[in-house]
Amino acid sequence: MLNNVDDFIQMLSLGTDSELELNAMKENKVEFRKQLGRLLSQSRKDAKDEKCFYCGERCSSFCNSHSIPAYFLRNIAVEGEVYNNNKLVNLPLLDNDNGVNQSGTFQLICRECDSKIFSDYENPDNYNYKDVPTAKMISQIAMKNYLKSISKRKFEIALYDNMNESFELPYEFYKHKQTINDLDLKEYIKDFNRAKRIDIKGWDNEYYLIYHQKLDYVVPMAFQSNVALMIDFEGGIINDIYNESPDYRIKSIHICVFPLENSSVIMLFIDSKDNKRYRSFYKQFRKLSAKDKLAAINYIIFNYSEDVFINKEVNDDILKHKGLIDASRKSFEILTMNPNVDTALVGSNVDFSKMNDIPNLLLEEFKIR
């Protein structure tokens, strides 16, 4: 999430192995930070609403909501800290450690709402006593994912406006970027409102649980996000990024990896109305062996998202694995300034035949307990 200077720097720079580049970037770090710091804090201010996005009440101090419940992060934290994706991508200007309290947060709803509206899915007991998650738990996860997406888009819209004011961005680039951002924002708000209604009404079957697995060990990573898959296991197109119809929207799948105290829960689900888009994918997924299912999820997470959190004691050789680093970098390519590259392009070259080429952190051999 683009929430601080580091995130912005991350947006402008790809991971690099070049010693020379690394040093050059480090030297300019202070000046760079100063300039961007101003731009970012202004954009943060501009992106802020006056009202809580959930209850609509006027709100003077927003809650620092965790994208992954702090409880799950604490189960993989060492002395309160976890690695985020930057450890893997080796971005030269970032700190690799992230205290549990700062990791992946957004400010969009009031404290009272934050303490209430996610309570079913954030309660660890609900994973111990229930065989499968309830419809309410699932809709709350979806709600949280959409809030995170909304927060990110609102900030980016403000950021591009401010960058345009400060540096005069190329007109076509600026216009194109903001059109996409606006469309995405509208779609996320629609999806959020739907999830909210489903949660309140307690409706069943509005989300389709593709996969739910409880492992009797604690995996060394935590993840919760919605990602747009591009290609299925047989090379079939899931989301068509070249479809230029204004009515065509990219549809995402929700993925959770929740480390509990002595076990882990892994889930994949979609909005039932996106069933057609994902049908081939999940039919193929279900034919995989138990081990390959985990490999596929591990592969998706590292290729499609930058929101993964990892236990700090995972062996360095694993974290430096070339395949894993290359995969993680792919998810950063969206963050370049190239106007032809946008979110939808992530994963367009993700090939599931290579899913067993990277270390699968979900396997028992990597368990932390």
Binding site for Zn ion (CB under 5 A): 52, 54-55, 110, 113
Residue placing its CB nearer to Zn ion in the complex, 57 or 95? 57
Q: How far apart are the first and last CA of the chain?
A: 29
Instruction: State the DSSP string of 279-296.
Output: HHHHHHHHHS-HHHHHHH
Separation of alpha carbons 256 and 212, rounded Å:
9
For residue 109, how far is the Cα from the chain centroid? Answer: 19
Closest CB 69 distance from Zn ion, rounded Å: 18
Please state the closest distance from residue 37 (CB atom) to Zn ion, in A: 29
Please give the structure tokens belonging to residue 92.
């030269």
Residue nearest to Zn ion according to CB distances in the complex: 52
The DSSP letter of residue 313 is T
Minimum CB distance to Zn ion smaller for 54 or for 352: 54
What is the C-alpha separation between 118 and 321, in angstroms, rounded?
36
CB of 63 to Zn ion, least distance (A): 8
The distance from CA 307 to its chain's CA centroid, rounded to whole angstroms, is 4
Toward Zn ion, which CB reaches closer, 114 or 184? 114
CA distance 311 to 90: 16
Q: Which is nearer to Zn ion, 110 or 260 (CB)?
A: 110
Cβ proximity to Zn ion: between 105 and 284 the closer is 105
Of 12 and 200, the one with the shorter C-beta distance to Zn ion is 200
* Least distance to Zn ion, CB of residue 47, Å: 17
Element (H, E) at 162: helix 135-167
Q: Is the Cβ of residue 52 or residue 335 nearer to Zn ion in the bound state?
A: 52
DSSP state string for 318-343: HHT-HHHHHHHHHTTGGGSS-TT--G
User: What's the min distance (Å) between Cβ of 32 and Zn ion?
Assistant: 37
Which distant-in-sequence residues (6+ apart) come within 8 Å of 40 by Cβ?
A: 2, 4, 5, 8, 159
Instruction: List Cα–Cα distances, 348 to 154, 279, 300, in angstroms.
Output: 25, 18, 12
Q: Residue 268 is encoded by which pair of tokens?
A: 């994949």
Q: Which residue, 54 or 332, has its beta carbon nearer to Zn ion?
A: 54
- Please state the closest distance from residue 143 (CB atom) to Zn ion, in A: 13
Tell the burial category of 353 from Cβ atoms under 10 Å away from its Cβ (0-12, 13-18, 19+): exposed
Minimum distance from residue 60 beta carbon to Zn ion (Å): 12
Q: What is the DSSP letter of 272?
A: G
DSSP string, 14-29: -----HHHHHHHHHTH
Q: Is the dihedral of CA 282, 286, 287, 292 positive or negative?
A: positive
Work out how close the CB of 206 gets to Zn ion at its nearest, in angstroms, rounded to a whole number. 23
Q: What is the smallest separation between the CB atom of 134 and Zn ion, expressed in angstroms? A: 23
Nearest residue (CB) to Zn ion, 61 versus 289: 61
